[in-house]
Chain A
Amino acid sequence: MNKVFLIGAAGTAYGKSNLTARDLSMLASKHAIESSGIKPHDIQAAFVANAFGMAEKQGHLGPLLMSSLGIPHVPSSTIEAACCSGGSAFREAYVNVASGFYDVMLVTGTEKVSHLDTLTATTYFAYGGDYLFEGNSGASFPGLYAAMARAHMHEYGTTEEELAAVAVKNHNNGIFNEKAHLQKKITVDDVLKSPVVADPLKFFDSCPFSDGAAATIIASEEFMNKNGLEKKVSIKGSGRSGGSGSLHTRDDLSSLESTIKASREAFGQAGISVKDLDFAEVHDCFTIAEIIAMEDLGIFEKGQASKAVVEGRTAINGEIPINPSGGLKSKGHPVGATGVGQIVEVFDQLTGNAGKRQVNDARIGLTHNVGATGGSCAVHIFERE
C-alpha cells in the first residue's frame, strides 16, 4: 500500500443551522480544498457521508455537491453506515488512494436534522439499530446505550456519577472550541439532575442532534512530491470492522466487538501500540459510549476507564487526552459529518492549530467512529510528519 497524506481539513460550526446539508457540505469542502493547497480539478473522486438525506427530500447529494465545487465530472457516491458514515467514507477513500487507483480524493460528511421535531428525530435515530428487535419494541437510540450502561454498571460497578464526569470533561473541552454545538460548562450535579431520557442515561449524558459538515482531502505521496506540497500529516493506520447490529445477539453487552477488531487492525498497520497515542477522538454519543470505547481501544482495562475520567487522566492536560474537541457530547453529532469531523480535529491538533484546546506536542492521534450500537466501526491513526 502507498503512503497517504491528510492534506486539508475543515468543518463548519456544529449546532442549529439555517443552511441545508448540501450547503453545509459545500462550505466545508470549499474550506478543506483551500486548506490543502490543491486546485478543485485535482480531485479525482469523492465520497459523501450522509445518513438522513431523505429527511430533507434530497438523496444523491454527491453530483450536486461536485457541481457546486465546479467539478461536475468528478465521480461521487454517498456512503451510509449510520453514525459511522464519516469514518467509513474516509476508509473507502483511503483504500482507493493507498491502492494507487486515485491520487487525490475528497471526503465530506454532512447532516441536517434540526428542522425535525424531537419525536421524528428520535424515531429516525432508532432506525440505525436492528429495528425489528429494538425500535419496533420501543427502544429509542438512547435506550440501547442505556441497556449497555446498565450491563456495564452491573458488571463493573460503574456509577452514574462516573458517567457524568465524562460529560463534564467533554463540556470543559468544548468551551475552547468555537465551532462546538454546546459551549457551556456543566457540573456532575447538572448531569445527575437533568431529565432522564432512558434510565440510567439522562439529558446531559447524551449528545445533541446537530447540523453540520466536515471535509478532508487526502493525497498520494507521488502527487505530493510532483506538486511540491508540504507533508504535514500522514495516515498511519486504517481499521474497519462490522459487528452484530443487534444487541441481543451479543454475549458481552459492555463491549463493542467492532471497536476491538477495527482498532487492532489500525494499530497493527501503524506498527504502534495504544501507549504511543498522544490523544484520541472517540465516539461518545453517550457518556457510557466513551467509557466502553476507551476500554475496547485498550487505553484502560475493562472497568477502569470511568475511574480514570474521574481522576482527570483523560483531560486535555492529562496523560491521554480524550476528545479534546469536546467530542460528540459538546462539539455535537451531525451524524454523517461526525467521523469526518473527528479527523478535522486531529488535523488541527497535529498541525498545531487547535488554539486553547491544543494537546501539548501532539504527534500521534486516533479517531474512533461507531455506527449505531457497534454494527460498524472505523478507526484511523494519524501522525505528524
Chain B
Amino acid sequence: MSDEALFVNDIIEATRDGIIKAYQCTECNEMGISVQALCKQCGNNKLNIKEISNVGKVVTYTIQTVAPDPFVNEVPYAWIIVELEDKIRITGWIPFISSKEQLSIGQKVKLVKSYKPGMVFEKLSE
C-alpha cells in the first residue's frame, strides 16, 4: 500500500519518531510532504516515498495563546512552518515558547521524537 502513495498515517507515524517522510516523483523528481498519490508537477502516478532531513529553518510562525483541543494546557507555544534542508516545507510546533521575541524567522529547528501531540520541533543553535 504505502509505496503507492503517501498516506496520513505514514506521515503521523514517522514524525512521532522524529522522522520525516516525503514523496519524490519518479519522472520529474518533484518532492513534497503531503498526502499524495499523483505528482503535482507532471501528473505521474509513481512516487517514491523516502526519509529526508528533519532539520530546517522557520519560515513563519505564530504564538498560540488560545488553542484548540488537545493543546489547551500547552499555551503559550509556537506553531511554525519550516523549510527543511531539502527545500520543502512542513509544519509543527515548539512547546514552551511564550513570546514572539523567543523565536525569529530563519531560526534553525529540528523535528524531535514526540513527547507531546503533533509534530514537535526544538530550536537548534547555529
Contacts and interface: CB of A to CB of B under 8 A. Distances in A.
B92 interface: yes
A123 B66 CA distance: 10
Considering the complex of A and B, which 4 residue pairs feature the smallest CB-CB distances, nearest first? A137-B118, A146-B62, A199-B63, A248-B89
A126 interface: yes
Contacts, number: 111
B77 to A, nearest CB: 6
B81 interface: yes
Contact of B79 (A118, A130, A138, A197): A138
Interface of A: 118-120, 122-123, 125-126, 130, 132-140, 142-143, 146-148, 150-151, 154, 195-201, 246-249, 253
A151 B63 contact: no
A242 to B, nearest CB: 12
Nearest to B106: A154
A147 B60 contact: yes
B19 interface: no
B90 interface: yes
B12 A132 contact: yes
Contacts of A126: 68
Given A140-B66, A196-B63, A200-B100, 6 more contacts: A123-B69, A125-B68, A130-B34, A136-B12, A139-B64, A197-B66
B90 A122 contact: no
A132 B8 contact: yes
A130 B119 CA distance: 14
A247 B81 contact: yes
Contacts of A196: 63, 65
Interface in B67-126: 67-69, 71-72, 74, 77, 79, 81-82, 89-93, 99-100, 105, 117-120
